[in-house]
Amino acid sequence: MDEHEHKHHLHIGLELTAAVVRLILTVNDIIKKLLTPRSIYTSVFFGTLCYLILKQLPIPQLLNSICSSLFGFWFGEQSAKRQMEVMKNGNKEYKEVS
């Protein structure tokens, strides 16, 4: 292998290493976002609700209220995000339709 090929292989190796590091950092960011107390509690409550439904067991009123509140909060948050995006874009979506 001549010097040019060696440099080429080294360059490819460095690019692959950089790509792997970026992937690891991306996965790490995703895991950090998924493992927040908010997401863990939400998963536990909805997981418990699904378990009870699948086992055809009665759902306690408190769990029903918590899940309903979380569900409403999540949809309200998504709706607010969409409204903020529309306001930030200057109502472009509505102007283009009319």
| CB burial string 1-28: b at 16+ within 10 A, e below | eeeeeeeeeeeeeeeeeeeeeeeeeeee
Q: What is the pLDDT at residue 25? A: 84
Q: What is the pLDDT at residue 50? A: 95
Q: Global pTM?
A: 0.53
Share of the chain above pLDDT 90, in %: 27
Q: What is the pLDDT at residue 98? A: 43
Give the residue ranges of the chain where pLDDT is below 50.
Answer: 96-98
Q: What is the pLDDT at residue 52? A: 96
Q: What is the pLDDT at residue 91? A: 58
Nearest-angstrom CA–CA distance, 10 and 3: 10
